[in-house]
Amino acid sequence: MKKMLPWLITILLAITLIVLAAFLLMNKWFSDSSGNAVNDTVNSVETKQLTADEIVAMTSEMTEIKTNLADPDYIVSINFAFQLNSEATKEDFEKIKEIKIKPLIIKTLADVKPQELSGASGKDQLCSKLVNLINDTLPEGKLTQVEITSYILAPI
């Protein structure tokens, strides 16, 4: 028995350390850190005060996007307003809107669960994600803001 006591203590100590390490690392493995990075990137985009005419001149609308969400029992009908940083960027955006931007939005919505879109924070998260994805797609200029102008979520 005296010879087994050090072995038992060593085994119990090893098990305790493994469980402690797993508990501490679990938060790192299973946390959703992508949302923080998305918000940090969007917050870094500068916005300046614009007149109403300037806003209209640099804003493009995309209406009637209807698609399924990650849960196949739900469908969403959503409209967006995209504010760009210049009129030239808006012209480029208009050219690629149907062939690049709309499929990107549909793919993004296909990964979203209905619960993730509930509330203002869920919609803000979607808009932030779209800003980053669309800015990577634009040939020149930047997308400064995405707003949801119409939103209907319905079960099938």
Q: What is the pLDDT along the chain (156 residues), one digit of tens a residue?
A: 678 888 889 999 999 999 888 888 876 676 555 555 555 555 555 556 878 888 888 899 998 899 999 888 999 999 999 999 888 888 988 999 999 999 999 999 999 898 888 888 889 999 999 999 998 888 888 888 999 999 999 988
Provide, for the chain, the percentages of residues in helix, strand and coil under a 3-state DSSP scheme, each rounded to the nearest 5.
55, 20, 20
Find residue 40's DSSP bridge partners.
none
- What is the third-level CATH fold of 35-155? Tetrahydropterin Synthase; Chain A (3.30.479)
**Which residues neighbour 149 within 8 Å (Cβ) at sequence distance 6 or greater?**
61, 63, 79, 80, 81
The pLDDT score that the predictor gives to residue 44 is 53
- pLDDT for the residue 43: 52
Cα-based distances in Å from 95 to 7, 38, 99: 72, 26, 8
- DSSP 8-state class, residue 149: E
- For 119, the token pair is 């509330």
Whole-number pLDDT of residue 129 = 92
User: What single string gives the DSSP state of each residue in 39-58?
Assistant: HHHHHTS------HHHHHHT
Instruction: Spell out the domain ranges in the chain.
Output: 5-31, 35-155
pLDDT of residue 99: 92
Cα atoms in the 13 Å half-sphere on the side-chain side of 7: 4
- For residue 81, what pLDDT is reported? 93
Give 16-25's long-range contacts (Cβ < 8 A, gap of 24+).
Answer: none
